[in-house]
Structure formats: structure tokens, C-alpha cells
Amino acid sequence: MQVIRSFQLTFSMTDTARPDLPDHLSVDPRSPHHVAAVFEHEIGIRFNGKERGDVEEYCISEGWIKVPAGRTLDRKGQPMMLKLKGTVEAFYK
């Protein structure tokens, strides 16, 4: 299983055709803001000048990110989200 993952990462690193990063993107596939083609490549989020790895959703134009609030779950079993406001930058790694 790890061999397949490393092959996919190697392939995506050599692929030059990357889609443009949207203004609003979500990790959750049930969200209308989820774009699967973007997640074929490794992306990073910089919030207030610091790179964050726990971002579940972001909006560049409105200047916010959503991150999980610890291990707290909502009534549907999904992580509770905190909305943090600031400067958001999305980029391909």
C-alpha cells in the first residue's frame, strides 16, 4: 500500500498541468466547495505568514480558514470547526 502512495506522489510531482487553486476550497467531499482535481497535488496553506497543516476549509477573498477544535465532535460525528480570520495564501508545494 505504501508503494502505491509513493508512486502517486512521484507522479503528481512530475505532472506540470495543475489546476488553478480556487478562492474557496474544502477537504470534505460532501461540500459544494470540494474540488477533487486540486487534491491530486500537494497543496499548502499559509495563514498570517505561518504554514498550517490542519486546515479543513479556506476562503482567500473573505480571509478565513476552518480548523478542527481539538477532538470535539458534533452530533453527526464530524469534527467541530473553528473559524479563524486573517491573511490566507494557498500554494502548491
The torsion angles phi and psi of 28, rounded to 5 degrees, stand at -70, 120
10 pLDDT exceeds 80?
A: no
pLDDT digits (tens, 9 = 90+) for 74-83: 999 999 999 9
Chain centre distance of CA 58: 7
- Domain with 48, as residue range(s), is 2-92
Cite the DSSP H helix spans in 1-93: 2-14
- The pTM of the full predicted model, rounded to 2 decimals, is 0.76
Give the Cβ contact number of residue 64 at 10 Å. 16
**How many structural domains compose the chain?**
1
Q: What percent of the chain has pLDDT over 70?
A: 83
- Give tens-digit pLDDT for 16-25: 688 999 999 9
- In the three-class reduction of DSSP (H, G, I as helix; E, B as strand; rest coil), residue 89 is classed as strand
